[in-house]
Chain A
Amino acid sequence: MRRAGSPRVEGYAALTALGLVAALALHRPELSVLAVPFALALVLGVRTARDPNVDFAFTLSTDRTVEDSEVEAVLTVSSQRDVDRLEYKVALPSGIELVEGSDARALRLRSGEERSLPLRLRCRRWGVHPLGAVDLRARDRLRLVVWEQRFPGGQRLKAYPHSETVRRILQPRETRVFTGSDVARARAEGIEYADMRAYTPGDRLRSINWRASARRNELVVNERHPERNTDVVLFIDSFGDVRGETRSTLDDTVRAAATLATRYLERRDRVGLVGFGGVLRWLQPGMGRPQWFRIVETLLETWVEPTYVWRKVSVIPDRILPPKALIIALTPLLDSRFVAAVTDLRARGYDLVVVEIVPTGQVEPGPGRADQLAHRLWLLERDVLRADLERADVSVARWGEDVALAAALEEVRTYRRHARLGRV
């Protein structure tokens, strides 16, 4: 630990020196007497102070948790010598808050004593939070000498985004050839009834509809929709973030992406990820629990990297955006580069849905008339942009403070059920 003098040392040394000099200069012994308590404290304090050799450890009950849940942590301090006052301050990152315990305490430790101090922490925001950085300061009995040390910590707590409640998710227009949970539009072996047709040689006997055949005096077979899986690519806008007191568009984007990834992977669909912003990140579509972990871990590294570079969809490798994939774009619709990319993807024939993370709740108009006019114009421009996207056969779901994600997706489901299958 680094030894240093407290402000008392400077002050008492100065007062002692002044008292003695004044006594000599003015020939008044009383002035040297004024310096005596300060000199005494200084000599006693500095001579008796010894490095306490404090050991410190910070342990977490887990290194992974879910947003808004609580985690136990234990601070363990021990000292080889008596410490009259040991102060510690735990540096908590912005996404972590203290629920129980104290992050700034002063203790007294006996020689060889070990003390465990439990803390209960809550992760307010998803992300990778560095933890365990603690500032320690030990003081001697006379508080003249301090020993300071900063333990950098080095532990990381991963807080996964919590899931939004979504009962039904968007069904893609086209499916792949592998078995899954989506009822395909194609006709083949399956469970869902599709239609009837005349028997042709090679049809299985069990598919003959005997009642219909009896009515028509010819053999008629049932046709069915097979259950297939699909490719879903979550296309995330990380060009910007609108952060209010309680919400942030980027936080909500990541939460929605994690929720959708969970739901699609549960249905044995292949899910991929593209983070489109200052930093381009992608994850090839895949299935199963390992893919869920890959997606969530990639989402945790999502942040806004400011850039003026104009990015195009062409920078995304082809294998990341398989044909027939359902692309769900999660965006606050604020950056024209992302809007251009969405339009470009639609022009390439991808089945595209935009989930708009509505930022208007986080943006308050200014007090002046011009400010309010500008705010209204901005809202109108957003309406126009939304209408343009819908004209290009892109469904737009609006998710904001007053609309749940499930309700927004249900609205798009309804829209897609009645809309024609457009090709641009």
Chain B
Amino acid sequence: MRSLGLRGAAVAILILVVSLVRGWPRLLPVSLCVLGAIYATHLRVDHVTLDLRAPAFAAGLFVTAELGYWSIEEREHFQGEPGDGLRHLAVVALLAAAGLLAGAAVLALADVASARGVALDVVGAAAAAAALLTVALVGRR
């Protein structure tokens, strides 16, 4: 599993590097998907009960994505104002922290829900579907 993870990570990094060097933003999520797939495989194969590091891993993925998109945007060479970069870095850090907290809350809810039986499983699935729908609707705007 370890060697598989390393190979997958190498592929993800390669995709990320190609995306950054060529300036292709559409390729960037692919590298994150590969990393997510490695993580999912790890959860499935190693039979982890409930991985408490998931919110941190999610925040790390988010920061990677933000920095990647930022890097691609900066290829256009606009002369920015002093403090511009630091301000955006602060926004990214805040979002990552918020994502970490929200992820921890979701994980705690999932832990409670799995202890209460099938009915709450169905509610969780419905909530996930609703979230998916919301994202789709918001994305269409």
Contact = CB atoms under 8 A, between A and B. Distances in A.
A104 B141 CA distance: 29
Nearest to A101: B79
Contact of B98 (A14, A40, A102, A107): A40
B116 to A, nearest CB: 13
A279 to B, nearest CB: 39
B36 A34 contact: yes
A25 to B, nearest CB: 10
B5 interface: no
Interface stretch (A2-10, A153-161, A235-243, A283-291): A2-10
Interface in B70-106: 70, 72-73, 76-81, 84, 87-88, 91, 95-96, 98-100, 102-103, 106
B99 A30 contact: no
A13 B54 CA distance: 19
Contacts of A37: 58-59, 61-62, 95-96, 98-100, 102-103
Contacts of A19: 36
Contact of A104 (B36, B79, B95, B136): B79
25 contacts: A7-B28, A7-B69, A8-B25, A14-B29, A16-B132, A20-B129, A20-B131, A24-B125, A29-B50, A29-B111, A29-B113, A29-B114, A33-B103, A34-B36, A34-B103, A36-B55, A36-B58, A36-B99, A36-B106, A37-B98, A38-B99, A40-B102, A106-B84, A108-B87, A143-B88
Contact of A21 (B73, B99, B106, B132): B132
Given A22-B40, A30-B107, A42 B55 contact: no
Contacts of B25: 7-8, 11
Interface string B96-140: 101110110011001101100000000011001101101110110
Contacts of A40: 95, 98-99, 102
Nearest to B110: A29
Nearest to A11: B29
Contacts of B128: 20, 23-24, 32
Nearest to A29: B110
A36 B59 CA distance: 9
Contacts of A29: 50, 106-107, 110-111, 113-114, 124
Contacts of B76: 87, 104
Contacts of B77: 104
Contacts of B132: 16-17, 20-21
A92 to B, nearest CB: 15
Q: Is the interface of A mostly helix, strand, loop or mixed?
A: helix
A105 B80 CA distance: 6
B11 interface: no
A13 to B, nearest CB: 4
Interface residues of A, number: 53
A31 interface: yes
B44 interface: yes
B69 A11 contact: yes
A39 interface: yes
Q: Which 9 A-B pairs have the closest CB atoms?
A: A37-B99, A29-B110, A7-B25, A37-B62, A30-B54, A13-B139, A11-B29, A106-B78, A33-B54
Contacts of B72: 7
A104 to B, nearest CB: 5
Select the residue from B25, B33, B99 with max chain A CB neighbours within 10 A: B99
Given A7-B26, A19-B36, A22-B40, A41 B78 contact: no
Contact of B58 (A13, A34, A108, A143): A34
A15 interface: yes
